[in-house]
Homo-oligomer: A and B are copies of this chain.
Amino acid sequence: MNRKKREGLILDAAIRVFARQGYPTTSVSEIIEEASVARGTFYLYFKSKKDIFNTLIDRFFVELAQNVAKINALNAPRGADLSGVFRQLASDFITTITKNRLLTKIMLVDSRGLEGEFDAKISQFYDQLSRIIQHNLDLNIKAGLFRNCDTGVVARCMIGSVKEMVASWVMQESMEIESVIQGLIDYLLNGLNPIVYAATEKAVASEEAKSLPRLGLNFH
């Protein structure tokens, strides 16, 4: 078995154990047992328990970073119909976290209150994500696609909402994720207040609502 393969084997075992028990209550013993490697072997590939957890975080962020990059890409085509792009975005995002369900759980559940080292890394990620979203919101507001709002706050709220929903999903396997995402996006866009449309627009809007594609977004 070559080096890379064995490292992946240990990493996967670590993911399983961390997801099961959380970082602080997971011991190196449990990881090496799950991975069926010797104690010393573990330290051949990772220089500490912290190290393997950091590697995990990095892996997850590399995956997510691609989704984030796509959000960023939204800046470009202003005035255009963004609905397809958004739909793809959500779809990619779900694919990413579905593929990394256990990692996702670890990130959301163990993401804080660990040693400061991890905290910083994770905070940094969310800050970056927040800034990207905020920038996007600003652009879209300027373009008249979104109404004016405190984009700093809204970006954080969106992250919070998504986190909470993903956390629910990740804890209870049975959740019907697609419909939830749909509800979530509807809410993010429209809020709670009843929308008062001008007579003609109203009909169009309700029509549009019905044809709203799975995982898609309803943009005017």
Among B144, B157, B165, B191, the residue within 8 A (CB) of A156 is B165
Contact across chains for B137 and A153 when beta carbons are under 8 A apart: no
| Residues of A contacting B: mostly | helix
Q: Do B22 and A190 have beta carbons less than 8 Å apart?
A: no
| Residue from the list B25, B167, B182, B189 in contact with A24, Cβ < 8 A | B25
Q: Is the CB of B149 within 8 A of A156?
A: no
Instruction: Name which residue of chain B comes closest to A180, CB basis.
Output: B153
CB-nearest residue of chain B to A191: B191
Please name all residues of chain B whose beta carbon is closer than 8 Å to the beta carbon of A42 when the two chains form the complex: none
* CB of A70 within 8 Å of the partner chain: no
Within A154-196, the residues touching B (CB, 8 Å) are 154, 156-165, 167-168, 171, 179-180, 182-184, 186-196
What would be 17 A-B contacts, judged by CB atoms less than 8 Å apart?
A24-B24, A24-B114, A144-B194, A147-B192, A149-B190, A150-B182, A150-B187, A153-B165, A154-B192, A156-B168, A157-B161, A160-B164, A189-B193, A190-B191, A191-B191, A195-B196, A196-B197
Q: A residues engaging B (CB < 8 A)?
A: 21-25, 108-110, 112-116, 123, 137, 144-147, 149-150, 152-154, 156-165, 167-168, 171, 179-180, 182-184, 186-199, 201, 218, 220
Question: Top 8 closest A-B pairs, CB basis?
Answer: A160-B164, A150-B183, A22-B113, A191-B191, A24-B24, A153-B183, A157-B161, A160-B160
